[in-house]
A and B are shown apart, each in its own frame.
Chain A
Amino acid sequence: MDTMRADYYILQDGILKRKENTVYFENKGERRVLPINKIYSIYAYGKLSFSSGVVSYLSKNGIPIHFFNYYGFYEGSMYPRETLISGDLVIQQAAQYLDDDKRMQLAGKFIEGACGNILKNLKYYSRSREDIQKNIDSYISSIESEILRLPDAHSIAGMMNVEGRIRNIYYSALDEIFPEEYRIVTRTRRPPGNKMNTLISFGNSLMYTTVLSEIYNTQLNPTISYLHEPFERRFSLALDVSEIFKPIIIDRIILKLVNKNMLDDNCFRGEIGDMLLSDKGKKIFLKEYNDKLGTTIKHKGLKRNVSYKRLIRLELYKLSKHVLGDEVYKPLVMWW
């Protein structure tokens, strides 16, 4: 199982080389050997140069590299040649998209899953924080009533609207939980306006790339999506699926970082209105992220322990089954 391979996060500037049949990362102060058979994917946050051999060597071994720019935003991926190809699945995936009813059904499932997990997060805080329980409960019930409107939406745009409203309510609810300096107020991107927006943006782009790495390891085509439009120049299926995992993984990490006071002012750079994570902040976030992906929970159906990362893959398998007509897709909602 591929969970034995590790994700490497490279924050420093340097050169990636092929040397002695494995991968070396080198710069002035550092020289690391990455065992080629143990790399799952590489997240490049620094300025990375490549020697000619390393790109083909990584591709040959099916290792994608995801690039993020100086600001921590996703730039693109070196996505190796697809080795898991199934024409049948791609055709079925497209057929699901072209049939409006079927597309809406799947799009709805992604929203349903995302909202189910959002509610789980809020319910946890409603139980554990008596001082704000009443407020959170009222947000919970307005999200619940929004979800009921989902079946009435007759277009993808209508569904996106419902989703947008739910997200707004969710962010207001989170603002009750977060201390003052970490309020979201309004969601802003590129550049994120304050600390919380910075954390959300950073986390979401990480989530997107992790899902993309997982899609690479299935036969699904990453460009055919349902909730998001597939004609954007992005692997939009990864956007669809990451909706489900953002509340489970990213939001929980952020809540932990903030509630346990793990971040200080040195973790951010820039000013309010143009706030970014510093290297220190990135490092802390990435460590939590990596630990989270490796955390295991007991899976009810499989009756064994699976990691969060594995859950993403299982979700994609469920999606393939749905597309092929084997089993109706039921989005993952945290049972723990």
Chain B
Amino acid sequence: MYVIVVYDIGVERLNKVRTFLKQYLNWVQNSVLEGELTKAEYMKVYSYLKQIINEDEDSIFFYRVRDKMYLGFDELGSRPAEIDTII
């Protein structure tokens, strides 16, 4: 599945969340990562984050689509990061 993760995390825990997510997903904007995950990987990411955040203060959204092709996407402005696999 294709997953977009958007987060708003307290500064003390921010780095932990960010570095963890970067091991699985591509960073596309401040506090936004996206990429292809298997079901198992998704569960892993989800449950790990659940453990380390403070559920009263932090917020994380996971947007999922079965396939990237079902995702409508438009873009404006200049891109902060490329995610192509040919570098």
Chain A interface residues toward B at CB < 8 A: 1, 4, 6-12, 20-22, 25, 30, 32-33, 35-38, 283, 286-287, 290
Contact = CB atoms under 8 A, between A and B. Distances in A.
**Residue of B18, B23, B24, B41 most packed against chain A (CB within 10 A):** B23
Interface string B11-49: 000000011101111110000000111100100000000
A30 to B, nearest CB: 7
Contact of B24 (A9, A20, A38): A38
Contacts, number: 57
B69 interface: no
Contacts of A37: 23-24, 41
A37 B86 CA distance: 17
A35 B24 contact: yes
B85 interface: yes
Given A4-B38, A21-B19, A22-B19, A35 B85 contact: no
B37 A4 contact: yes
Nearest to A10: B87
Given A22-B23, A37-B24, A37-B41, 20 more contacts: A7-B85, A8-B85, A9-B86, A11-B87, A20-B18, A20-B19, A20-B22, A21-B20, A21-B22, A22-B19, A22-B22, A25-B87, A33-B26, A33-B81, A35-B24, A38-B24, A38-B25, A38-B26, A38-B35, A290-B86
Nearest to B1: A4
Interface of B: 18-20, 22-27, 35-38, 41, 81-82, 85-87
A59 to B, nearest CB: 16
A10 B82 CA distance: 13
Nearest to B86: A9
Given A33-B22, A33-B27, A35-B25, A283 B38 contact: no
Contacts of B20: 21
Contacts of A12: 87
Contacts of A36: 23
Contact of B26 (A9, A35, A283, A290): A35
B19 A9 contact: no
Contacts of A7: 85
28 contacts: A1-B38, A4-B36, A4-B37, A4-B38, A6-B85, A11-B86, A11-B87, A12-B87, A20-B19, A21-B19, A21-B22, A22-B22, A22-B23, A30-B87, A32-B81, A32-B87, A33-B22, A33-B26, A35-B26, A35-B35, A37-B23, A38-B24, A38-B25, A283-B86, A286-B86, A287-B86, A290-B85, A290-B86
Contacts of A287: 86
B38 A35 contact: no
Nearest to B33: A35
A37 B27 CA distance: 14
Contacts of A22: 19, 22-23
Contacts of B18: 20
**Residue of A12, A35, A38 most packed against chain B (CB within 10 A):** A35
